[in-house]
Structure 1
Amino acid sequence: SQQAAIDQSLNETQQQCEEEYRIVRVKLHGVASPLQVNISDLWEALSLINYGL
């Protein structure tokens, strides 16, 4: 059905977005805080070679 196709598309999009972000602990003002970080941005910031994960 059309609704099932829409639901599947939304689930796939959500999964793709979740795969692009990871939780990284960052220490701010002496306190470790979990932050959601875009993996591509993190790789670029660390000057790492970009390849498919």
Structure 2
Amino acid sequence: MFGMLSVLAELQRELIVANTGDGLASVRTRGRSAGFGRTSPGRRRVVLRPGRFTGL
């Protein structure tokens, strides 16, 4: 049972890697940069520290 699940997990991982590589190659051919990119200082989100609020 676990052997079948591991084979399916490996197949899925290979598909994800292949699709990610194809997507990055497509973006490069269009001359754009992949990812979120850098944000300007005025548009940065404030990152809250865990446990800052009670009840979370």
Normalised-by-shorter TM-score class:
0.3 to 0.5
Larger radius of gyration: 2
Name the one with the larger strand percent. Answer: 1
TM-score by length of 1: 0.44
Name the one with the larger helix percent. Answer: 2
Q: Which has the higher contact order (CA 8 A, sep 6+)?
A: 1
